[in-house]
Amino acid sequence: MNPWDNIWVVLVEPRHPGNIGAVARAMKNVGLSRLALVRPVPFHTSEAYAMAHMSEEILEEASIYDSLEEALEGKALVVGTTARRGKRRGPFLAVDDAVEEILRTARSNRVALLFGREERGLKNEELKYCQFLVTLPMAYSQPSLNLAQAVLLLGYEIFRARKPPREVYPELASFEELERMYSKIEDALTCIGFIHRNSPKTFMRAVRRVLGRAKLERRDVYVILKICERIEQFSREVLDFRNLRSYFEGAAGNERRGYEKGIAPSVELGMCRTSDSHPPGTGAVPEALAGGGGAEGPKGEGPGSDTEDSRA
């Protein structure tokens, strides 16, 4: 959302139509358009429109309120402007810090910039509605500003603090690439037992929520895919090692029992399974080990059996 649409200039009891017109023009100079008036004098005059040259729409669309409380309804941040300091006034923020808070808040909330009367500014009881106050540094001999000047200067500081336009996004991952990535993430995490088999969709919704905000480029997706491939490869290597160990343990047990053949069992790690009965890349089981097999022989005669053959 454009933060400028969330910033309101609120004038309390302005007494001169020309000042109201000048404020409208100052607002348009710095990109502001929301004007709220609390108990103003009649301001649809030739003087006001002359001062609001090429900014007449701000005058015509200005909101009018009978009380300050009504004008501040719906505003998340109220910033008061004053040239006077005192024990009952504050807290004060430096202009730069105030502008930063205004822009940060205005990205998602309404902000009110509160300006007082031409003669005496804001009263203490009105300043209580402000989260903080700001004073524009001026010469000591004349620190007070005309109403339109104050609006223009604070508005200019906000306008000047705008971030430059962001660079155009690089080529982002397509829908198909993202879906492939999510599928690989689910496979990899399931393979190592990280995702519970009964609730994969719940966890993957969280993954999508995190990565969906990242504006992933194609190269980012490629990195994640490579990580997932390595996780699955490592998992297979672990399973192959366990199967190989079971194979040799079974072969030794069967040799003692005198059996000719055995079958290496598959081993489960998380949700991954393998049925290879020999180490990867070795081809068929060597004949010298063909007598090896699983941890058990024929039914009822595995390790621990009390038959005579097992005791031989």
Contact 102, 4 (CB under 8 A): no
Regions of the chain with pLDDT less than 50: 165, 168, 259-271, 273-312
pLDDT of residue 266: 41
The H-or-E segment that residue 154 falls in is helix 147-160
pLDDT digits (tens, 9 = 90+) for 27-65: 999 999 999 999 999 999 999 999 999 999 999 999 999
Residue 200, class by beta-carbon neighbours within 10 Å (0-12 exposed, 13-18 middle, 19+ buried)?
middle
**What pLDDT sits at residue 126?**
87
Both tokens of 217, joined, read: 């480029």
Please name each of the domains of the chain with its CATH number. Answer: 3-160 (3.40.1280.10), 175-289 (1.10.8.590)
In this prediction, residue 130 carries a pLDDT of: 83
pLDDT at site 91: 80
Whether the CB-CB separation of 239 and 288 falls below 8 Å is answered with: no
Return the pLDDT at 167: 52
According to DSSP, the residues that pair with 115 across neighbouring strands are 11
**Burial degree of 101 (CB within 10 A; 0-12, 13-18, 19+):** middle
User: Tokens in use for 39?
Assistant: 């108990």
Q: What is the pLDDT of residues 119-160, one digit of tens each?
A: 888 888 888 888 889 998 888 888 888 999 999 999 999 999
Q: Let me know: does 85 contact 92? Beta carbons within 8 Å.
A: yes
Amino acid, res. 272? C
Tokens of 305: 């059996």
Alpha-carbon distance 236 to 264, whole Å? Answer: 16
Q: What is the layout of strands, in order, in the sheet containing 7-12?
A: 63-65, 34-38, 7-12, 111-115, 77-81, 132-134, 92-93
Rounded CA-CA distance 121/144 in Å is: 10
Specify the pLDDT at position 249. Answer: 63
